[in-house]
Amino acid sequence: MTTASRFHRLRARTSRNLRMSLMCKSSLGNAVVDEFPILRQEVHDGKALLYLDSAATSQKPIAVTEAFRKAAQEVTSFPDDADIKEEIETARANVASLLNASPRDIVFTRGATEALNLVARGWGDANISEGDEIILTVMEHHSNLVPWQSLAERNRAVLKFVPLSKDQAFNMEAFKSLLNPGKTKIVAVNHVSNVLGCVNPVKEISELAHAAGALVSVDACQSVPHMPVDVKELGADFISASGHKMLGPTGIGFLWGRSELLNAMEPLNAGGAAMSRVSINPASTFHDAPAPWRFEAERLPYAEIMALSEACKYLQSRNMSQVHEYEMELGHYLWDSLSEIPGISLYGPSPSSSAGRDRGALVAFNCKGIHSNDLAFFLDQEGVAIRSGHHCTQPLHRALGVAGSARASLYLYNTREDIDKFCTILRKTLKMFSDMGFGVEETSPCPLVSTSDPTLRDPGIDRPCTDLWPKVDAEAEGVKENN
């Protein structure tokens, strides 16, 4: 081991120990874990479950599952019942309270994907014309990318993408250069990257976009569950989130939007409660209800809304500032612990950098010579649940020069001990691969990946997207394309 390697390991270990010494002995994770019975289950011949996949879907506390059960089993009246309507509006107020928003600005949706599509369709179709420009980033989840691609195709708009900075975070200088006053109509960006973990400067982005005459739509799926999100402070125009990532059930999410924008938007669906008045005599006419009800034409999923409401109350009871502080400590410890394992490349800004100091509690990584799916499979056999693949961010992984990555993600119910156990099992699994001739020997850790792999390329529509991009011979492929 070189002197530099010893220095970096010592610095990481010292930094980690200092942070951990500041944490209270009875951590938040230890305090709440018994409220999540699923985390106490055993899998694969008695192995304890170690759940490190909350960026995909969070677990639910007893209060949330009980609220869902009660709504599903004990409530027999239909949703036009006055009491049920009142409970739905109370739930809307609980969601709004979490965001410091007005309940009238909260629209219930089937999830964040529908919320983002509602913005692209309901606002975009009416306000984006041929030649107008839409700015996104290369780190967007497909749910905040494809709706805008579809809009650009329908209305012949221009898409522009903010590349990564050198430390794999939001590139502010590149963003400023892409803004085109009078032409840029909307900026769509995630608040926290589900792969890089970086917290994007939404407030500054919003100020710059508004100065250029553009709106801002934020995918907040990875921020609302983990940190204080104040819509007034962020300054964005639309914010979307999903229930199943914030201790709630699947099939429910929400869109927050400015009142004047929501009331000017066309709903995706017509009928039902979305109408304030309908007539056929003397002419067939209808009038949309005001926001948010104009967007909720179908019978709302009552049980899911009740569970989401309870999830919001639960998060507020735990103090989102404290949740964020606790998760930052865990996230930094996870990064430092993984960085000490030989052969591992980490993605996103380091916690020691300005772009990474408040990064989310997740780390995406790759182990040299081992596909992420293979690694995740064998970790699963040991009871460890992580995520592998492209995480619905294929363009980002192409920018990183890799086919996919493994990702460990944490939540308020995880602990430092979970991370220690994970790294122990990971080392054991990598040793198994090494014994079979895969992976790397015990050498110094791989550096942060910052260069793309030239053998990986966008396959185009003639070669469908898959999880593992085949490497091709560049010269042979070039000859084929030229012919």
The pLDDT value recorded for residue 276 is 74
**Which one from 392, 423, 446, 465 is the annotated catalytic residue?**
392
Which parts of 101-202 are beta strand (E)?
106-109, 133-137, 158-162, 184-190
The pLDDT value recorded for residue 282 is 64
- The total number of residues written for the chain in this structure: 483
User: Who's near 334: CB < 8 A, 6+ residues apart?
Assistant: 361, 362, 363, 408, 410, 419
Closest residue by Cα to residue 179 from 201, 205, 144: 205
CA 478/CA 483 separation, integer angstroms: 9
Residue type, 358: D
Strand pairing report for 387-389 and 384-385: unpaired
HSE value, Cβ hemisphere, 13 Å, CA-based, for 281 = 0
With tokens 């998760």, the residue in question is 327
CA 1/CA 216 separation, integer angstroms: 48
CA 363/CA 26 separation, integer angstroms: 24
Give Cα separations from 123 to 40, 134, 296 (angstroms): 45, 13, 16
Q: Is 446 a catalytic residue?
A: no
CA 119/CA 111 separation, integer angstroms: 13
Give the tokens for residue 321: 């500032």
Triad 223, 227, 230: Cα angle to 5°: 85
**388: phi then psi, degrees, rounded to nearest 5:** -140, 160
The pLDDT value recorded for residue 459 is 31
Give the tokens for residue 123: 């606002």
Triad 257, 260, 263: Cα angle to 5°: 85
Q: What is the mean pLDDT of each successive set of 10 residues along the chain, which is 483 residues long?
A: 46 48 65 96 95 98 97 74 91 98 98 98 98 98 98 98 97 98 98 98 98 98 98 98 98 98 91 77 68 91 97 98 98 98 96 95 96 97 98 97 97 98 98 86 38 34 31 40 36
Closest residue by Cα to residue 123 from 148, 103, 101, 105: 148
